[in-house]
Amino acid sequence: MPDTDPFDVVAVGAHPDDVEIGCGGTLAKLVEQGYRVGIVDLTDGEPTPVSPGPEVRLAEARKAAEILGVHERVTLPLTNRRLFDGFDERVALAKIFRKWRPKLVMGLGDRTPMASPDHWQAMQITDAAVFYSRLTKWDDHFDGLPPHTIKAQVYYALTFYTLQPPPTANDFVTDIGTVLEKKLAAIKAYETQFPPEKGDIFERVRAMNVSIGNAAGFAAGERLASPRAIGVTDLMQSLRI
């Protein structure tokens, strides 16, 4: 049986720093609002050009998680640069979902041309794991962990090079105005990934989040997308009027 309290939200990335860049502000805001939040990195992200090894990258990931305030972070033993959507990979992530029992899963939302193909594989693994998490009569694959149905799923993007909306089209903006600096601090925790010669990433992230937020009437925001149409029960509240 699961030995941990249920999570409200679990965010999944291919590598440490994916989640911070794509939806770190949303996670920090959720933590401030009292929700229980976890992060799953499918790989340790190594090797990379400047990092001396996985231990340093994982220490950076722990520091970033502490800055965001998330309650737990795990790294699955899948392989960076050789991440592929397969049965074993789907089951490995679904086991975490069955153990943590989240209401919402946030995952990568599309290909990232000219960047790591692991991102696209991670999207497919996450989609499948959300489905596998709830399947019954398959106990032998999941170490006896009971099935768990995830109520909602949303996608975040990692691309800076397109003006197109996320491919699912049901996109919306979360308010991260009060936590933008916390998000940037979490990204800066990855000193091996963003040395001085790559320092422009921080202003690019800031500019993107400010632009997205302004479009929705916030000081800063993150653009997410839902595979389902987003329903409204209180129109006035949803429009913040």
**Is 2 a domain residue?**
no
- Domain with 54 in it: 9-238
Whether residue 3 lies inside any domain: the answer is: no
Under 8 Å between Cβ of 58 and 10? no
Q: pLDDT over 70 for what percent of the chain?
A: 97
With 80 as the cut, is the pLDDT of residue 164 above it? no
Report the mean per-residue pLDDT for the chain.
Answer: 95
* pLDDT(1) > 60: no
**Residue 1 covered by a domain:** no
Q: Which residues does 203 contact at the CB level (< 8 Å), separation at least 6?
A: none
* 110 inside domain: yes
Kindly give, in sequence order, each residue whose CB lies less than 8 Å from that of residue 30, ignoring residues fewer than 6 positions away.
Answer: 8, 9, 37
H-type alpha helices, 101-137: 118-133
Give the integer Cα–Cα distance in Å for 1 and 195. 43
Paired tokens of 138: 């398959």
Q: How many folded domains does the chain comprise? A: 1
Give domain status of residue 200, yes or no: yes
Cα(10)–Cα(151) distance, integer angstroms: 12
8-20 pLDDT tens trace = 999 999 999 999 9
Residue 128 lies in a domain: yes
pLDDT digits (tens, 9 = 90+) for 66-104: 999 999 999 999 999 999 999 999 999 999 999 999 999
Q: What is the mean pLDDT of residues 159-179?
A: 84
* Residue 167, domain CATH: 3.40.50.10320
> Is 33 a member of any domain?
yes
